[in-house]
Amino acid sequence: MSESMTVGEAVAELRDMLAASERNTTISGRLAKGSLSVLYEFQAEDGSVESYVMRIQPGVRGVEEGGIPYDDADIVIRTEPLTLHRLTNGDLGGREAIVSGRLDIRKAPSMPKLLFMRSLFNGYKKARLRAEAATEASP
């Protein structure tokens, strides 16, 4: 695994996560009924911050560049792109990331929103594992 990752690559993974959720009927059903807005603040090596918003609402799913007020976000997360990659792929646990200071949850979600977010991460991780297994099995 590379020891660096760009914000663009992290955002592409977030978009892949949304795409994987569409193929999972359980998560897709939850998406149809609920909403979630996550403000990601990516800390660059030079100290600058790039903001992206993941929105999931009935009929709207996407990741867009730019910020929104903290009050409008269900969850606000500040991290580095590589840390997010390691979290979404299961290489790093959430508790370990928080304790080490690599993940800063600036606005904690309600329990239903947290569980919803966790189901997105888990669904994405399982989809990646299935894709990797299929690639290894094919000649």
Reported as a single tens digit per residue, the pLDDT across 73-122 is: 999 999 999 999 888 877 888 889 889 989 898 887 787 777 777 778 77
Phi, psi (5° rounding) for residue 127? -65, -40
Q: Is 19 helix (H, G, I), strand (E, B) or coil?
A: helix
Distance CA 43, CA 111 (A): 26
Evaluate if residue 56 carries a pLDDT over 50.
yes
Q: Phi/psi at 116 (nearest 5 deg)? A: -60, -45
Which amino acid type is present at position 14? L
Q: pTM for this one?
A: 0.81
Q: Burial letters for 102-117: b for 16+ Cβ neighbours within 10 Å, e otherwise?
A: bbeeeeebeeebeebb
Amino acid at 121: F
Looking at domain 7-137, which CATH architecture does it have?
2-Layer Sandwich (3.30)
